[in-house]
Chains A and B, each alone.
Chain A
Amino acid sequence: MLKFTRNKLASVYRKDGKTLSVHGVLEDDIYGLEVDLDLDFSRMEILAIRGKWNRMENSQCPRAIPFLQEAVGFRLEEDFVRKVQKIVGRKACRHFADLILECCEAARDAAAIIQREGDKEKEAGLTVAHLFGKAKDVPKAERPEKDGEPDNRVAGGVVIDLHVHSFPASPCSSISLRELIEEAKEIGLDGICLTDHNHWWEPRKVEDLRQKHGFLILRGNEITTDQGDILVFGLEEDIKGIITLAELRKKALAANGFMIAAHPFRGFLTFGIGYLGLTVEKAMERPLFKLVDAVEVLNGKVAERENSFAAKVAQGLRLPVTGGSDAHGAGEVGLYATRFPGPIQNERDLIEALKKGGYSPVVFRNRCPD
C-alpha cells in the first residue's frame, strides 16, 4: 500500500512575444497548491505570480500567499534557487517555494526549446549557455537587527562557542564576522571558533581579526561527509564538496586534528522515536561514532530531545561531549558553548584541550524565540 504520493505538474506557453506563462500544480497527501507565473522571456525575470491553496496543513497556511509577491523581480540567474528557498520558503511556505522552482526550471527548459528551434522573436542576450549555464551562488549580505541579550556567563574556566557560521564564508548565515565577534564579546564569551561550511580560513586573516577585536577567534571547519556534518579542528586543508567520513578521518589523523560529530541526530527525532524505533543502543552502533573524537550534544539548531538523545549516545559510548550554538544569525551566538578548565590562547591550545578532556557543554545564553 502506498504511504505517500506527490504529483507536480508544470506547463509553459508563450503568452506573447515577451512573456512566458507557467502554470504549476502540486498535489500530495498533505498539500494541494497552485501557482501561475509570468516571466519576461528575454530577461528570465518573474513579472507576476499568483498562488492559491486547495488543501493545506493548518488554518494559518493562507498567511503564505501575500509573501509570494517577494519573488516578483527575481531573475533565473546566480542565486535564484537560494533566494527562492530562503525568502519565499521561509517567509511564505517551502512547498510554494518548491513549486515555484519547478515552474521556473520548466520555463528555463521552455526557453531553451524556443531558442533551439530558432524562434525569430528571441531576445538579445539569451544564449543557450545562459539558459543551461550553472551560475555560482553569490548571495547578498543581510544585516539582521541586533537584540539585547542578558549576560549569563558561566563561572570558571574559559567558555568558547565551538560552532559558529559567518556570512559570506557560510552562505546560509546572515551574520557578518564583525557582528558575530561584537556580539560574542558583548555577551561575555571568552572566544569563538569559526566553523564555516567547507571553508578554510587563512591563519593570517584570523590573526588580524584577533588583533583588531582583542578577542579569541579560532579556526575550525564544518565539513559535510557522507555520514553527516563534522566539526574539524587542526586541518589545514580547503575541502570542497562531499568527502567520505573515512577519508576525512585519515586527513584529520595525519594532521593531528580533532573531529566532533555535529548535531548527529538533527531531524531524526522529529517524528518521535516511536515512529522510527530509533533507540540509544541502536544509534550507538552507527559507524559515525567510531570515527569521531567527540560528540556535540548541545547544538542551538536542533530540538532539545535531539540534543538529549545525542548526549545519551555519547555517554553510552564514553565519548567526550561539546556544545556550540551553530549560530547563523544575530542573537544566536553563545546559545550553547563549551567550558574548558584551563586557558586557551590559540588553536594548538584548543586541540590539546580537546584531546585532554575535562571540558563540558554549557548553556550560555537564554534560548528564547523572541
Chain B
Amino acid sequence: MAEILVFSRNRWTSVEQMDDRTFRATCRVQDTLREAWVEILVKAPDLEIVQVKGEIRRSPEEKERDVTDDLQKLTGSRVGPGIKKIIRGLLGHSAHAEQVATLVDECCNGVILSFTKDVLVHAPKDRAGEREFFAGMVRANPRLYNSCAALSADSPLMEGLELDKDND
C-alpha cells in the first residue's frame, strides 16, 4: 500500500540581528491547509516588540487576510517569560488568531533561543567543564533546576549543586 501523505507542514523561523539593539524575527508556515507569516521587530535591552506585521495567505477559515492591524496590540509587549499568555490574551482565540499567535510565539522563542545560543557556544566539551558550566547556569537561573531531564535533580550535571540562599 502506498503511504501517501495526508498532511505535511513546514514551519520556519529565523532571527536576524539588524544592528546592536534591533532583532528581526520571522516565522512562516506552509502546510496542506494554510500559509501564513509573521514578522516582529524587537529592541534591546527590554526586548520590546516595536513593530509587528503579518499575513494569512491561505487557510481553511479564510482565503487571504492582512493581520497587521490585529497584531498592533502586541506592540510594546516584551519578549520574555509569560509572553505566550500575553500574546494569546491580546490576540484572542478565533481560529485565525490562534494561527497568528503560534507564529508570534515562534518568533519570540527564536529571539530567546538566539541568546541561549550565544551562551551555549561557550560550553566546554569535557565532562568536568560541562558540569561546572551547567551548574553555574542553573545557579544563576534557579528555575532551570528540574526543568528537564538533563537538569533534573539526579542528573550528573546537577551533582553537588547547591542553589544560592543568601538574598537579603
Give Cα distance in the complex from A9 to B127, angstroms. 33
Contact between A61 and B13, CB atoms less than 8 A apart: no
Contact between A63 and B145, CB atoms less than 8 A apart: no
Which of B11, B16, B120 has most A Cβ within 10 Å? B11
Question: Given A7-B11, A90-B147, A242-B90, A113 and B119 touching (CB < 8 A)?
Answer: no
B167 partner residues in chain A, CB cutoff 8 A: 298, 304, 307-308, 336, 363, 367
B-contacting residues, A104-147, CB 8 Å: 105-107, 109-110, 112-114, 132, 134
Please, which residue of chain A has its CB at the minimum distance from the CB of B106? A6
Give Cα distance in the complex from A276 to B9, angstroms. 34
Contact between B149 and A63, CB atoms less than 8 A apart: yes
Return the CB mask of B44-86 against A: 1 if under 8 Å, else 0: 1111000000000000100000000000010011101110011
Q: Is A149 an interface residue (CB 8 A)?
A: no
B-contacting residues, A1-20, CB 8 Å: 1-15, 20
Question: Given A4-B14, A12-B7, A275 and B31 touching (CB < 8 A)?
Answer: no
Give Cα distance in the complex from A289 to B147, angstroms. 30
B-contacting residues, A147-198, CB 8 Å: none
Contact between B146 and A90, CB atoms less than 8 A apart: yes
Question: Given A58-B123, A63-B149, A367-B167, A3 and B17 touching (CB < 8 A)?
Answer: yes
B-contacting residues, A277-311, CB 8 Å: 277-279, 282-283, 286, 298, 301-305, 307-308
Contact between A271 and B118, CB atoms less than 8 A apart: yes
Chain B: interface size category: 35 or more
Please, which residue of chain A has its CB at the minimum distance from the CB of B81? A267
Q: How far is the CB of B114 from chain A (nearest CB, A)?
A: 4
B46 partner residues in chain A, CB cutoff 8 A: 268, 276, 278, 282-283, 286
Contact between A229 and B32, CB atoms less than 8 A apart: no
Please, which residue of chain B has its CB at the minimum distance from the CB of A365? B165
Contact between A4 and B117, CB atoms less than 8 A apart: yes
B109 partner residues in chain A, CB cutoff 8 A: 6
Q: How far is the CB of B45 from chain A (nearest CB, A)?
A: 4
A132 partner residues in chain B, CB cutoff 8 A: 95
A370 partner residues in chain B, CB cutoff 8 A: 153
Contact between B9 and A10, CB atoms less than 8 A apart: yes
Given contacts A6-B109, A242-B86, A305-B140, 8 further A-B contacts (CB under 8 A): A4-B117, A5-B14, A20-B6, A226-B90, A227-B77, A228-B82, A271-B119, A279-B45
Instruction: Enumerate chain B interface residues (CB-CB to A < 8 A).
Output: 3-17, 20-21, 23, 31-33, 44-47, 60, 73, 76-78, 80-82, 85-86, 88-90, 93, 95, 106, 109-111, 113-120, 123, 127, 130, 134, 140-143, 145-153, 155-158, 161-168
